Each structure stands twice: as structure tokens, then as C-alpha cells.
Structure 1
Amino acid sequence: MTALPTEAVPASRPTGAPSGPAHARPRRTGGFPVARTLRYAALLLFLLIVLIPVYVLLVTSFKGPGDASPARAWSLPTEWTLDNWDTAWTTLSPAIWRTLQMVIPSALIAALLGSVNGFVLSRWSFRGANLVFTLILFGMFIPYQAVIIPLNELVLDLELPSGVPTLILLHVVFGIPITTLIFRNYYQTVPHELVEAARIDGAGMLRTYWSVILPISVPSFVVVLIWQFTSAWNDFLFAVFFSSSQNGPVTLALNNLANGALLQNYGVSMAGALFASLPTLVVYIILGKYFIGGLMSGSVKS
């Protein structure tokens, strides 16, 4: 018998080799793309613009009283000193502690109330739910300056103690609208099957919230806590009206530090400003990478 001719078997392609026609393969170009170069140059320019005030703050904080002046704002200190930092810390440390006592409870309480409101408004339908949500959101668009006088009268009528307790109450009340909005948008992305499964198992509203919804709410809690912490920490208007230099937060103490002397000591003011901004900076460094992810997690429905 004669052997049948065998068809030619094409050579096997090495593993990982690109397939398709040669003209479809990406071409490697030498050099650095112009668009990328311009993009990085623009980012570097913006970074320098942002860091210019930080440079002035940091450099001036190490200057002595005679060296710290507007004319020498860009110059390095002729003699480096830590006296400004010592004076600023001695003056601001009690106010920083009071501010921590204010912002931590107000952020936690506002976040918890906003979480409950967002869950109820997103998962439990009742008559007038949309109206209630609209009225809650209306509080976001009322300027503080428009209600500060009647709010002051209300606080006086209620005989609330000045300082930290009153500021906690105010920041919780004015933080509920934004926290409710963030949590409601996030809970609308949660699959309905989770809530329905809890109902089938006999869980009520509170049990469903505590056992099913709350454990998956960490991204939104991070966003809300950062938002409330920085908002309460940087507040100055409520601090002026509802506290004093003896029981007020760090923003009020920093203002008194900057304007309390006839001869302006720029070094102490700059060191105090850095002390006052350090806690919010630490919060953003620790939780900043979760902020954008948590904020965007409730922006798109699944």
C-alpha cells in the first residue's frame, strides 16, 4: 500500500506570541509622548501653585519676630527657631482638645442618623417619603448666615450651655441633610435581593439594617465621617456665636492668636495655622484613598 500524503502542519506559535495580522499589532514608538509630557508638566505646575502657601507657612513658622515680615516672606530664616511652635502649641492645645471633643461625637452621631434616614428613605416606602426627603435636603441649601440670628435666639431660649455641647448639637443637625443624601444614594445601589431575603427570614426593619445593611456601609461611612470631621473642624461662624475663647474650638483660638497682639507675630500665627490644620491633614492621609471610592460607590446604580 502506498502511504497517503500528509498535509503540512503549520508550525505552532510560541506561547504568548501576538496573533492577528502584522498591521494590527501595536507599534512601539521611541521617545516620550508629547501629550503625556504636557500632562505631567501641567500637574507639576498645579502642584507648585498649591505648595506655595505651604512653603510660606512652613518657612515663616521657623522665623524670629524680627525676621518674619511680609518683605521676607519668601526668604529662608536667618536663624531657625522653635519658639513659635512652642508658643502656638501652648496657646492652642486646650482648644485642639476641645475641638476633638466636639468633632468626633458630632461626626459619629450625624453619620449614624444619616445612615438610618438613608436606609428608610431608600428601602421602606411610605406615604410622603419623597416629600420628607425633599424637606431634609432643603436644609443643605439654607446659608448659615440666614438662620444664625433665630438660631441664637433658640439656643438662648433652650438655655443650652455655651461651647462644646451646643456646637455638637448644631453640627449634627446641619450635617443630617448631606449625610442622608450620601447614604440614600449608596443604599439604592444595594441589591434588592438582600433586603428581600432578610424579610423572608422574618427580619424587621431594624434587624435588616443592623445585620444586613450596616456591615456593608463602610465606604459611605468613610465618606461621611471625613466630610463631617473637616466641616466641623474648620467651622468658624458657629464658634463665634455659640462659644467663647475659654470654651471654643481651635478656629476661634487661632483667630485670637493672630489678632491678640498689637504687633503681629507672623511666626506664631503660621505655626498655629499648621497645628490647626494638622488633624484634618492626618485624616485625609489615612482615609483619603477610601474617600473617592466611597463617594463614587453610590453614584451609579447596579
Structure 2
Amino acid sequence: MSGGAQDQAIRTGRVTRTFIYVVLIFFALFYLLPFFIMLINSIKPLPEITGGNMMALPTDPTIEPWKSAWSTAQIGVEATGLKPYFMNSILMVVPAVAISTILGALNGYILTKWRFRGDNLIFGLLLFSCFIPFQIVLIPMAMVLGKIGLAGSLTGLILVHVVYGIGFGTLYFRNYYAAFPTELVRAAMMDGAGFFRIFWRIMLPVSGPIAVVCIIWQFTNIWNDFLFGVSFGGLDAQPVTVALNNLVQSSTGVREYNVHFAAAILAALPTLLVYIVAGRYFVRGLMAGSVKG
């Protein structure tokens, strides 16, 4: 290739990349437009919003809607804000994600390195559980929670999400562990290592990428869940998604849109922070698990 043709190819490549970047930036900005509208309206006084242009920047910014959404907004019959329900969600999500991830890793370890008769059937049933609609299990789950005395409690909600998350955790870790050298496990067994010692010392230390995928997936699903929260959470055990719905639907005579926008952003902040902190590992771990499976 001559020098002129090579330079032309380089210029063409730069133009193409520039065009692709411009298109991607346009779509990214278009996708973020609703969030921008929510953000600017959450710091506006209510008269500015009801006055017309929701796209305009605030002329008199205020953080009072955020304070109200957090601690003084009326939810139901009490002026409690999102604060107690936010804590309920944290107390529910952390143990549910941790337990379902550990159990998923343990199941994946057993189904790949400790094979037994019927293991494929068990994995198939666990995989099938991932596709059961939430609505189908509401009545049976409510009956079980009532019989074991966990109805309307945070512990009951944690149990529900753990049970529903085990299938996804097992799927992720089984696919990831499938390509892990079985010879290493057998060598550890010959050296006298037992079942749990192999799991804690050999399998878990190499499970970082897929563990991040599982944690992000479980955290997002559990934090954003509304159906289980409104069905099984008592008055003192409702998650933030239920409180957000009650706040928006409450009838106090005036629709405080600025407070509603602020509350929606507050409710979404944890999942946003999780993706900002660990999002770059998500695709990496997901691809690692899919290729190794």
C-alpha cells in the first residue's frame, strides 16, 4: 500500500471512529435525559414546576425537597420520609445477597466437583426456578411464611429473596466452576483437604469475577423489588420501593413533584453507586463465566 493510500485509510478510520463516538454520545445523552429532568426538578421550588417548563434550569435552587423526601415527607398517615424504609432495604438486601451468593457458590462447587447421581436433574430444577413468575409463588410463599411465623417481617423478606436468588447464583457459579481444573480438587483431596477446606481455600479465592456478577445482579433485583415487599412486608418492614410508591400515591391535596423526584433519586442511588463502583467488573465477570461454561 502506498503512503497516500495508507494516510487516506487512517483518515477514514478516524472519521469513522469520530462518527461512532458522536452517535454513542447522542444516545447516551438521550438516555440520561429523564434523569436530568428528575434532578433539576428535585431542586426546584414547587411553584417553578407547576409554572410550566420542566426542562428549564432552576432559578432558585433549594435542597428542601431532598430533606423532605428523606425525613419529613408524609407516607401513609405518618410524616416519616424514606429514612426508616431505606434502612429496611439495607437490612434486607445485605444478608439476602450474601447468603444467596454463598449458597450459589456452594451449589456450583458441588454440581461441578462433587458429581453424584441426579445432579443434572437438581441443576435443571434450580435453573427452572429462575423462570418462575413472581406472581405464582405469592400465595404459597405467604402460607409458608405464616406457618413459620415470619409473615410481615424483614426476616421473612430476606428468606423470600434468598430462596428466589439461589437459582441464579447456582447458574452463575456452576458455569464458572465447570472449567476449573478438577485435578486441583483431587490433588487437594489426596493431601487430606476436606470438602469445606477445598471450597474456602481453593474455589472461593478464584471466584472474584463471577461473585461480582452475582452480587450486582442480586443486589439490583432485591433492592428494586416491589411485589415481594408490598406482599410480605409488614408496616414496620416495608422496603424503600414500597415507601416510594406510597409517597407518590398519598393524597395530601398538593402533588409535591419536587419531593417525588428527590425521593425517586434517593431510592435509586444505591444501585447507581454499585454500578459505578463495580460496573466495570460486571461484563468482565459475566463473559468469563459464559466462556468458561
Q: Could you say whether these structures have the same fold, taking a TM-score greater than 0.5 normalized by the shorter chain as the test?
A: yes
Alignment size in residue pairs: 281
Any unmatched runs of 5+ in structure 1?
A: 1-21
Alignment partner, residue 27 of structure 1: 6
Q: Tell me, in whole angstroms, the C-alpha distance in 2 between the residues paired with 1:129 and 1:70.
A: 64
TM-score (norm 2): 0.90
Alignment partner, residue 34 of structure 2: 53
- The letter for the 2-side match of 1:219 is P
1:133 to 75, 100, 123: 123
**2:74 matched to 1:95?**
no
Q: Tell me, in whole angstroms, the C-alpha distance in 1 between the residues paired with 2:218 and 2:288.
A: 18
2:158 to 165, 168, 176: 168
**Contact 1:88/1:272 (8 A) holds in 2:** yes
Alignment partner, residue 254 of structure 2: 263
**Contact 1:115/1:183 (8 A) holds in 2:** yes
1:156 to 138, 146, 150: 146
Alignment partner, residue 86 of structure 1: 67
Residues 32, 24 of structure 1: alpha-carbon distance in 2 compared, 3 angstrom cutoff: closer
**2:43 matched to 1:62?**
yes
**2:218 matched to 1:249?**
no
1:276 to 250, 267, 270: 267
Q: Tell me, in whole angstroms, the C-alpha distance in 2 between the residues paired with 1:105 and 1:189.
A: 29
Q: Tell me, in whole angstroms, the C-alpha distance in 2 between the residues paired with 1:207 and 1:243.
A: 38
TM-score (norm 1): 0.87
Residues 70, 222 of structure 1: alpha-carbon distance in 2 compared, 3 angstrom cutoff: farther
Q: CA deviation at 1:95?
A: 1.0
Alignment partner, residue 74 of structure 2: none
Q: Tell me, in whole angstroms, the C-alpha distance in 1 between the residues paired with 2:35 and 2:83.
A: 21
Give the match's secondary structure for 2:150.
coil
The alignment's C-alpha RMSD in Å is: 2.0
**Which segment drifts farther, 134-143 or 197-206?**
197-206
Q: Tell me, in whole angstroms, the C-alpha distance in 2 between the residues paired with 1:32 and 1:24.
A: 14
**Which segment drifts farther, 83-92 or 237-246?**
237-246
Q: CA deviation at 1:161?
A: 4.2
Q: Tell me, in whole angstroms, the C-alpha distance in 1 between the residues paired with 2:115 and 2:144.
A: 34
Alignment partner, residue 110 of structure 2: 120
Give the match's secondary structure for 1:269.
helix
The structure with the largest alpha-carbon Rg is 1
Q: CA deviation at 1:150?
A: 2.2
| Overall identity of the aligned pairs, in % | 44
Alignment partner, residue 186 of structure 2: 196
Q: Tell me, in whole angstroms, the C-alpha distance in 2 between the residues paired with 1:64 and 1:295.
A: 44
**Contact 1:118/1:180 (8 A) holds in 2:** yes
Any unmatched runs of 5+ in structure 2?
A: 72-80
**Contact 1:188/1:298 (8 A) holds in 2:** no
